[in-house]
Every structure is written in C-alpha cells, then in structure tokens.
A and B are shown apart, each in its own frame.
Chain A
Amino acid sequence: MSSPVIEVDKVTHLFKDHRALNGISFQVGAGTLHGFVGPNGAGKTTTLKLICTLLRPQTGRIRVFGMDVRTDVKAIRQKLGYMPDHFSMYKQMTVYEYLDFFAAAYGHVSKRREVIVGDVLSLTDMEGRKDDLIQGLSRGMQQRVSLARVLVNDPDLLLLDEPASGLDPRARIELMDILRELRRMGKTIFISSHILSELAELCDSVTIIDRGMTKYSGHMDDLLYAQDGHPVYRLRIETDIEVWAPRLPELTGVATVEPVEGKPEFRLTADAADIDANSMLTQLLAMGVPIAGFQRDQRKLNDAFMDLTERGVRT
C-alpha cells in the first residue's frame, strides 16, 4: 500500500460506560475507495467522527495524511470533507447560497467561489436547480447537494457516512457513478454503508468492524476470493463424478475439497496463499479430469460479512 491517508491504530473510545470502540486498527491507502462496514452500533459513526476531528480519541492514535487528529485539527479539516449520516442543511437557503456559503467559510474569495460552485454543481448535475430552496428538494437531490457541499473545498479525502441510505435505486446508482468519477479524479473516499452489494462492486478495499473491533481490513478481492487468506476454486466435472471425487485431495497444494450440494461441483481450497489457478488447472488436466468449468470462487460480501460478524444485537 502506498503511504496511507488514514491510519487508525488501537483506538478505544468510551461513552460513559459504553465501549464504542475497542482497539480498532486499520489503514486506508491514497486514491482508494475504501468501504467501511459493520452492524448497527459497531462503532462506524464514532470512527468517522474521530477521523474528521469532531471527537478526540481517548486511547490509541489516528493519523490523517500523516497528521495527528489530536493536534493538527485545522490542517486535517482543510484536507477532508465529511458528509454525516443525516441531512444537515440550511433548508431556507437556495442550493447556490448553501454551496457559496461553505466555499466562503473555507476561505475562498468571491470570484474563485463562482468557479468552484459552478464546478461542483456541474459534477453533481445540479446546475438546473441552483436557485431552488433546499427544503423543496427531494431526498436524492438533497443528498447530491450534501455531496456537492463536501466537494467545495476540493478535499483530498472524503468521509461519507451512509450516503446512500434512503435513496431510491436511480439516485443510488447515480450517486455511485459520482463516487467513481471522484475516485478517477484521484480522491480518497472512505465510505460507510450498509448496501454491501454496491460496496463490493465499488470499493478497492474494505474494513469490517463488529462490536468496536476490526474483523477484517484489506483488499476487497482478498476478502471475496479467499477463505482465511487462501484462494478457493470451483471445479465442475462433466462425467464420472464418483470416480474423480476421491482423487481430488491428491492434488498438490489443495487443503480441502468440498462437494457442492446438488451439483457436479467441488470447492477446492488451496493450502497456501500463492497457489494460483494455473498450477491447479495444469494438475487437473494432467490427471485427465473431464473439466466442464473451472473458476476462482467468489463469495458475496454479504456472506463474508455474516461470517465475520456475530449474531445478535449489541448491548
């Protein structure tokens, strides 16, 4: 990983006697779109508030762009944009006033603001609604304005807390398109969401937390294509399945062989992380297995999430 934009190291945070975070650690690389997933009450929003300097870490260390969130508050705020999980807007303002206000609050002079606000309106496709009162906008439109607000300072890091919650499918797809565009522009995006299917498609890396602890943090591919860090392959056999089934464990580098119920298929788990598809396939061909299909087995993020997190509501 290139030098990390966010480094969270053994952070614990208590609200009175409730332990919101319990030694959480992870890193987010520059220019990546990093998903942040966890059940309700896992500590996602607390983590986001710590990163964006609204809360101060009680123990552990958080660095953003190499700066400590305890001491370099202003410098960090200058470089990040935070979008909370609720609508926080001045609803009596028009869209243009709202964005112009934040651009001015970030210290941009009048002429520069015109350009900035025009750009973010264009990026979020809100040019036609710039004189609309925010209170009259739909939820999806308000979410776009919220995102536009985050962008007025041209931050290098975007912290988005549940940006797609409550949006209709079209608004969600459009939002994801905007996020892809922002990643293409080189922004680092840290996104907390419950919509796992979209995160799996969108994110380069992911952190899964539960009960204030990190359950997984790393590349999305490693999570979806591997089991305990080892690659898993799916083999489909054309004929004589009962003949070939006992011979499959003989393959070099295979730790386990599991038949897939009701199908002429097997899940082959490698015994090391470096066993690749080519070596496995070469061996199968050499054995003369009648292969109907062979591919890397991809889990759904939902399954990974369910495997990693505990059942029940956090107390």
Chain B
Amino acid sequence: MNKTLALLVRALRTESRDIKSHLFRVGLACVVVLILLLGLSALEYESAPGRVMFKAMTWANWVVVTLAGGTFFSIAISEETEQQTLGLLRMANVSPLSLLLGKWLPRMLTAIVLVSIQFPFTWLTVTLGGVSWEQIWSSYLMLLAHLVLVGNLGLLSSVLNANSAKACAWTFGTMIAVRILPAFCWAGLTLFAERGWLAMSTANTFWEKVGAPLHSWSASGRLWGEILSTSFKGDAWSPQVVSNLIGGAVLFCIAWLIFDRATMRHMSGQISSSVNPFRILAYYLFRAFRFLFWLVCFGLVRFHLEEDPSAALLFGPTRRSRRVWDWAVGWKDFWQVSGGSRNLWVKYALYGFLFGTIFYILTMYDADTYEGFETSCIYTAGIIFWCLLPLELCFLAAKLFRPELNDHTWSTLLTLPKSLPVIAYSKLGGAMLGMIPTVSVLSLCSMTFMGELLAEIFREPGFVLGIAYGLTIVLVALHLVTFFSISVSWAAWPIAIILGVGVTWFGNVLVWIFFALGMMGINSGGGGEGIMYAWFMLLAIGHVILAGVTHYGIGLRLAAKGAEN
C-alpha cells in the first residue's frame, strides 16, 4: 500500500509541476466558457436553454473522458517502459498490483477532478431550466463508468505495448472497433439473409442479443438516446453503468494478471532468432488480427514485414538489403513513413476490395451493371475523399518527423550538406509517394462524375469559396498536426492528430459562433449572401496566414530539435 501511495504522490507532484496539464485544464475551462456563451445566446430562441448548455457540457465531458482514456491512461505503464524505469520499480519490489494502482489512481483522480469542477456550471443549467437533477446524476455516473472502462482499456493497452504511441492507437482502435464491428456484422448477416444463405431471424437475433445491448451499454449510445432527452425518467444505475464498471474491473484484472509476462518481454528487448512453432502460430494470428483491425478501422494495412520489429521474431535479425535511390531521403521516408512498395500493392488491393464490395452490394439490389459501376465509383470516391484520404494525410503529417526525433536521427540527418528545407521537403516527398494508390484510385473513381461536378462548381461561385475554405482548413490542420507531433514528447502522433484536428475544428466552431452572434446583431436586410462570401474569403485568407506561421514555426522547431537531439 505504501508503494502505491508513493507512486500516487510522485505522480501528483509531477503533474502539478507540468505546465501541459494546467494548459489542458485552461483549455477545458475555455470550452465551458464557450458553452456558457452558447447557453446565453440560446436564451433568445430556446425555451429550455439549460438543456442546450447541459447537452453541450455532457458531450464535451464525454470527449474529454474518451481522450483521457485513449491517451493519458494508455501511457501509464508504457512511459515507464520507454524511460527504462519499469525494471527499476520492479527491482524495488513494487508489485504489479501496486504499480498498476499507483499509475491508475492519480489519473483517475485527475480525470474526476477535471469533470467535477464543472459542477457549479451544471447547477446553472438547472436554474436556466430544461434539466432535472436525476438527469445530472445519471449523466455524471454514466461518465464515471465510461471513464472506468476506457481508462482500464488504456491501462491494458499500456501493459501490452512497450511503445506509448502504439498503446494509444490500440486503445482508440479497440474503442472504434467495439462501436462499429457489431453494425458491420449485422449488415453482413442481413446481406447473407437477403441472398437466402441465412434466416433473417438470425440477423435480427444477432442485433437484439449483441448489437443493441452493446449500443445501449456504451456511453455514446446513451448520450444519443435517452439521457439527454426531455422525457428522461431512467434509473441512474443503468445497464451501461453496471456493464462499464464490470468491464473496467475485468480489464484491470487482465492487466494485472498478464503484467509480468507482458512487461518482462518489453524490458528484455531481445530478438530471438530461434523458430518456435507456437510462436509462429501466435505471430500469424497476431498479424491476421492486426490486418483486420486496420482494414476495418482505417482501411490501411501496415503489412511491410521488414519494417516491423516483430518480424525479427520469425525471420531472425537479417534480411536482404534493398538498393537505395539516388534521392536518398525520399527513399528512406517512402519506406519508413509510408511502408514502401509492398504497402502500395496492399492499398491497391484494399481499394479494389472496397470498390468490389460496393459494386457487389449495389448490383445485388437490381441496379444494372453500368449504373452499379457508376454509383460504386461515387461511393468509393466519397469514402476515400471524406475518410481515408484525411486519415492518411493526418498519419503522414504526424509521423513525418516524429520517428527521427524518437530515434535521435534528426541531428545526424541535419549534418548532411543540405539545407533544412531541402531535407524536410525530401522527406515529405518520399512519404507522399505512399499516397499514390489513394490519389490514383480517387482520380479514377472521380472521372465518372468529375465533369459534372466541375460544371456545377463553376456555375456557383459560392462553391469555389467553400472548397477553398475547406482546403485551407485541411492545410491548417495538417500543419498543426505536424507542429504538435514535434512538440509533444509522449504518445506523440496520436496526440498530435487529436490536438491538430481538434484545435482546427474547435477554432472554426468558435469563429463561426462569434460570426453567428455578430450576424444576429446586424439587421436582417439584404446583402447576406455577399457578407457570407466575404466571410468565407476572410476565413480562407486567415487559414493560409495561420498555416504560413505554423510552417515557419515548424522550421524553427526542427532546427532547434537538430541542435538538442
């Protein structure tokens, strides 16, 4: 118990000295203030402004708790492994349970304090009207249970992964997979039932017994459903709360039980060249699971065996050397960041699979082949443009410089007789080669409707401004992701993506709220469209300036990192 307390005190002391945690709290306070502003503005047109405010606060809390689980808890043990202090703690006879509790408790306390300090504002929502005390208690209990579940999921990931970034990715990936896998499975079963391969009742039973409970047991499911509705009359101890608390406890126990086995492997860090059949089987199961994981969650597969340290377990510590291109830095990042030529083919195969699946489903529903082909192109292009392309760009931006800083190779690279911009843009160029499949498939799929789309765009000038605005948002977000990836020290790339995209989104929301409030103050005369166009243009210019400033900041930071790394 003393050891747990010692770890708890150490963590709280470290946290109180860390400026980033204070900044995070300030950020949350800003969100609360923004929500207050929203509530105030809702006074004019909403009969229950308190409900608007409470809804926004609960969603904000849910986002904070989910992010905390995916990041803060996911580095609990892996940060000790990375700093090589885990072995020292174990040698000091700190038991796995003490260690887990010592790392889990301060995080839990911090998260609870963070959420509970908003209580006075919550009180205000009751005063403003539209929210009952039952709803408030239920919401906070729901958030606590959600925190226990995601926190312990993060803790388990942290035990399983020696690398903080990987641990974060696993936590987020599992959370996403648990939310969307049942829906995918149900869709698949329905499809089979419609083909007559399966009874429809099987698909329905699956949804009733698995999909629906999983949905209602999740905090987000409850947030979408009953808990924020006006007619809420539910019990605070709902199945979601009970299941999340039990699930969290089970995950904690698993982390405890496997702690020694998992962390000993990380601490030893040895590569065995011996080939054990069980290890091979476990290895392929692991790869198959990972393949599915990436396929479902991100549509990307990291299948480049040579780049993967775990491959050395199977193949031993040697392999045939590849030839380096004359464009050396580009070559390096084509392999290091994008995964190399093998990944290109895997991506092409995945996009082909995506297109084929959509085409198959469409033609099954009586669409003729040409129509099915055309619609499949539109859907594939849509999925790539709205989901996969942004994800891939975010990953690329976050992982462009981070591995160099982690492996202390950046300073060595900077001693090459090339300027920093030449090195940095060569890296970017090499990494972007990995996007050839995405861009080429997107271009091919867009060919069927691009002419029509362009004609539509040029007919309406507002479209052009809208697209320019959208592109500049992407530009800012990618710059911020890159900037954060070289600024934060732990779990850098997941945090960088969340921060970069989050800051861009939140900043734009803020700007639009102020714009809407401003517009409400202006008399509703003519010229609204003109003001809108001017506003879009102003925002786009603002984004370009912000991207430019961030670009310059990245350069300065990279130069500084070269000297200190």
Contacts and interface: CB of A to CB of B under 8 A. Distances in A.
A105 B333 CA distance: 13
B318 A102 contact: no
A78 B415 contact: no
A88 B306 contact: no
B470 to A, nearest CB: 36
Contact of A97 (B324, B407, B418): B324
B408 A88 contact: yes
Contacts of A113: 324
Main secondary structure of the interface of B (DSSP, over half): loop
B341 to A, nearest CB: 15
A147 to B, nearest CB: 13
A53 B563 CA distance: 9
Most buried by B among A88, A95, A149: A88
Nearest to A137: B317
B277 interface: no
A55 interface: yes
Contact of B415 (A52, A92, A131): A52
Interface string A146-157: 000100000000
Nearest to A132: B318
B87 to A, nearest CB: 17
A136 B317 contact: yes
B411 A131 contact: no
A67 B410 CA distance: 24
B331 A53 contact: no
Interface string B304-338: 00110100100001111111111111011000100
Interface string B326-356: 1111011000100000000000000000000
A96 B412 CA distance: 17
A146 B433 CA distance: 29
A80 B320 CA distance: 30
Nearest to B332: A101
Interface string B428-467: 0000000000000000000000000000000000000000
Contacts of B336: 90, 92
Interface in A83-137: 84, 86-92, 94-97, 100-107, 109-110, 113, 130-133, 135-136
A233 interface: no
B562 interface: yes
Given A104-B331, A131-B318, A133-B318, A88 B412 contact: yes
A228 to B, nearest CB: 37
B388 interface: no
A216 interface: no
B332 A90 contact: yes
Contact of B407 (A80, A88, A102): A88
Nearest to B419: A74
B43 interface: no
Contacts of A102: 328, 416
Interface string A172-195: 000000000000000000000000
Contact of B562 (A54, A80, A135): A54
Contacts of B202: none
B417 interface: yes
Contact of A109 (B317, B322, B326): B326
B286 to A, nearest CB: 18
Instruction: Give chain A's interface residue range (CB within 8 Å of chain B).
Output: 35 or more
Interface in B196-221: none
A100 B418 contact: no
Most buried by A among B320, B329, B563: B563
Contacts of A103: 324
A36 interface: no
Nearest to A94: B321
B319 to A, nearest CB: 6
Contact of B320 (A87, A92, A131): A131
A113 B417 CA distance: 17
A105 B416 contact: yes
A82 B415 contact: yes
A264 to B, nearest CB: 53
B324 A104 contact: yes
A130 B415 CA distance: 24
A236 interface: no
A55 B563 contact: yes
Contact of B271 (A89, A106, A135): A135
Contact of A92 (B306, B328, B329): B306
B319 A131 contact: yes
A149 B393 CA distance: 32
Interface in B359-417: 407-417
Given A54-B563, A97-B322, A104-B328, A133 B415 contact: no
A52 B307 CA distance: 31
B333 to A, nearest CB: 11
B416 A77 contact: yes
Contacts of B409: 88-90
A63 interface: no
B318 A91 contact: no
A135 B312 contact: yes
Most buried by A among B323, B412, B565: B412
Most buried by B among A91, A103, A133: A133
Given A89-B407, A100-B324, A106-B416, A49 B563 contact: yes
Given A74-B419, A105-B329, A100 B312 contact: no
B274 to A, nearest CB: 13
Contacts of B414: 54
Contact of A84 (B320, B324, B411, B418): B411
Contacts of B312: 133, 135-136
Interface in A238-296: none
B526 to A, nearest CB: 57
B291 to A, nearest CB: 20
Contacts of B324: 97, 100-101, 103-104, 113
Interface string B271-284: 10000000000000
30 contacts: A54-B414, A73-B419, A74-B417, A84-B408, A84-B411, A87-B408, A88-B411, A88-B565, A90-B407, A91-B407, A92-B306, A92-B336, A94-B319, A100-B323, A101-B328, A102-B328, A104-B324, A104-B325, A105-B328, A105-B418, A107-B417, A131-B320, A132-B317, A133-B312, A133-B318, A133-B319, A135-B271, A135-B317, A136-B317, A136-B318
Given A82-B412, A101-B332, A133-B319, 20 more contacts: A54-B415, A55-B563, A77-B417, A81-B415, A82-B415, A86-B408, A88-B409, A90-B407, A94-B321, A95-B321, A100-B324, A101-B328, A104-B324, A104-B328, A105-B418, A109-B326, A110-B323, A133-B317, A133-B318, A136-B318
Top 8 A-B pairs, shortest CB-CB distance: A136-B317, A104-B328, A96-B321, A105-B328, A77-B417, A88-B408, A78-B417, A100-B324
Interface of B: 271, 306-307, 309, 312, 317-329, 331-332, 336, 407-419, 562-563, 565
